[in-house]
Amino acid sequence: MSLKNWDNKTWLSSPSYIKSFNNFLLKQVKLNKNSQILDIGCGRGKILGSLSLKLSLKRKSTGIDIENHKDRDKRIIFKKIDALKFLKNNKKRFDLILLKQTIHLFKIKDIKTILKLSKTLLNPNGKIIIFTLDPINNEIPTFSIMRKKTEKSLNKRQENY
């Protein structure tokens, strides 16, 4: 599935959203200027770029995605690669592996492999953090046709699992 416009000049790429997301993230995991971070399905990599600046990271962090956006963040090492392929071949270790709004795009079999491989790539005390929408207990403000299409799309995804 191509997701080129997920965060294209929407609130998801707004500095205030990214700032508050990263503040929340740093309450969940201890990171410092020596940390290594991997963002799987990083999109334009703005979240990771902003986090790198906030932590004054000594080494650039890695963001991977199957889409290569022209305006992607230059403060990160970006790799245009499928998550499974990257995880199978990568030797680097990470203190945080982030999957934000990405895990639902994979089949359950692949999710299991992603998590298994990610665990092997963690430094001691490293964490995998997954952010995903709960498709049942959430309410999205919609108008009628949008609600129908959203429900259809969510049901389709659940069928894939």
Ligand X SMILES: C[S@@+](CC[C@H](N)C(=O)[O-])C[C@H]1O[C@@H](n2cnc3c(N)ncnc32)[C@H](O)[C@@H]1O
For binding to ligand X (CB under 6 A), which residues are involved? 3, 6-7, 12, 41-43, 64-67, 82-83, 100-102, 105
Tell me the residue number closest to ligand X, measured at CB. Answer: 41
Query: By the 8 A CB rule, do 78 and 42 touch?
Result: yes
CB of 135 to ligand X, least distance (A): 14
Minimum CB distance to ligand X smaller for 60 or for 104: 104
Compare residues 74 and 124 and give the one whose CB is closer to ligand X.
74
Work out how close the CB of 34 gets to ligand X at its nearest, in angstroms, rounded to a whole number: 24
Q: What is the number of other CB atoms lying within 10 angstroms of the CB of residue 29? A: 16
Nearer to ligand X among residue 48 and residue 57 (C-beta): 48
- Which spans in 29-72 are helix H? 46-55
Three-state SS across 97-133? EEEECCHHHCCHHHHHHHHHHHHHCEEEEEEEEEECC
